[in-house]
Amino acid sequence: MPRPIIIDTDPGQDDAVAILMALASPELEVVGITTVAGNVPQPLVTENALRLVELAGRPDVPVYAGARRPLLRPLVTAEEVHGPTGLDGADLPPPRTAPADGHAVDFIVEACRRAEGEGITLCPIGPLTNLALALVKEPDIVEGIREIVVMGGASFEGGNTTPPAEFNIYVDPHAAHVVFTSGVPITLMPLDVTHRALVVPDQLERIRGLGTRVGDAVAGMLDYYERHDVEKYGIEGAPLHDPCVIAYLLEPAIFTGKACHVAVETSSELTMGTTVVDWWGVGGGTPNAVVMRDVDADEFFELVIDRLARLG
Ligand code: RIB
Ligand code: CA
């Protein structure tokens, strides 16, 4: 039986690769995609998610529009990284389909309540606003959630938005606090591991060499997306942050990490949105997340390109 998941996303080129991988993977059932303001605002993130399900030939997967801003703080976006469209480099046509009726938060609540067996897996790869709203609106939904696999946070790596904070958590730290204190099993993909999941030039050429609409779109997106981080960090290629979430669901053994207590800073402006990861267990807090710190980068990329190659 395929594993039912919801992808909560703010597309974003790296979100796009994660969504395409998931839609190409028979091991997963993407029961819905929910969008959240982040990399770019609403309604653009929703339009981008629709563009991506159409690119994948999967217009059957419903896309629900979600939060337009964080719980308490003003929205911070990242056009300097992703471009004004959020998917710069892809040149995808406007979506032909419309978002599904209803709000993303209500869809998440209903999907968790309907979940059978082990429950549904939530895959937030943007700010955590929608998940927090669902958990606050209907706390009982935790019973239907198997696991939350989050792309966000940073520990030893440092931040990408402020010195200590990573973008997804920084944008809505109060939402992140709600998720990390929910009691639901969490697997965290922080920058410590995603900065090791780079697409280096010869790998980018392999994606371009697929010779498919998906390969061309992804190569174009990564050509655009990599310039910011290559210059900022002096690294060889673009970090595929969000695809780490999907890769973990498909091949967990390529990742290494450990159970830690994770708390989110929501008071100090200087450290707002920092994920305080107690890696050495010195704080006495009960571990509430498995925090990943390393990945087999070659295996990771082979998984990425294998799934992209399955799409036309
Ligand atoms: O910090 C990286 C994260 O922020 C990724 O999810 C990227 O898409 C942006 O949302
Ligand atoms: Ca994202």
Atom of ligand 1 nearest to the CA of 160: 1
Ligand 1 centroid to residue 169 C-alpha, Å: 9
The model's confidence at residue 227, banded by pLDDT at 50, 70 and 90, is confident
> pLDDT tens across 79-136, in order?
999 999 999 999 899 999 999 999 999 999 999 999 999 999 999 999 999 999 999 9
Ligand 2 centroid to residue 12 C-alpha, Å: 6
Residue 199 has pLDDT above 90, yes or no: yes
Query: Which residues neighbour 208 within 8 Å (Cβ) at sequence distance 6 or greater?
Result: 215, 216, 219
Ligand 1 environment, Cβ below 6 A: 10, 12, 14-15, 38-39, 125-126, 151, 160, 166-168, 241-242
Ligand 1 centroid to residue 18 C-alpha, Å: 11
| Number of domains the chain contains | 1
pLDDT, position 117: 96
Question: Measuring from atom 10 of ligand 1, which residue has the nearest CA?
Answer: 126
Ligand 2 centroid to residue 9 C-alpha, Å: 6
Catalytic positions, written as ranges: 241
* Residue 293's CATH number: 3.90.245.10
Find the mean pLDDT for residues 155-169: 98
Ligand nearest 9 Cα, by number?
A: 2
> pLDDT tens across 257-302, in order?
999 999 999 999 999 999 999 999 999 999 999 999 999 999 999 9
Atom of ligand 1 nearest to the CA of 194: 2
Structural domain span for residue 49: 3-309
Ligand nearest 152 Cα, by number?
A: 1
Atom of ligand 1 nearest to the CA of 166: 1
The model's confidence at residue 256, banded by pLDDT at 50, 70 and 90, is very high
Ligand nearest 166 Cα, by number?
A: 1
Atom of ligand 1 nearest to the CA of 11: 8
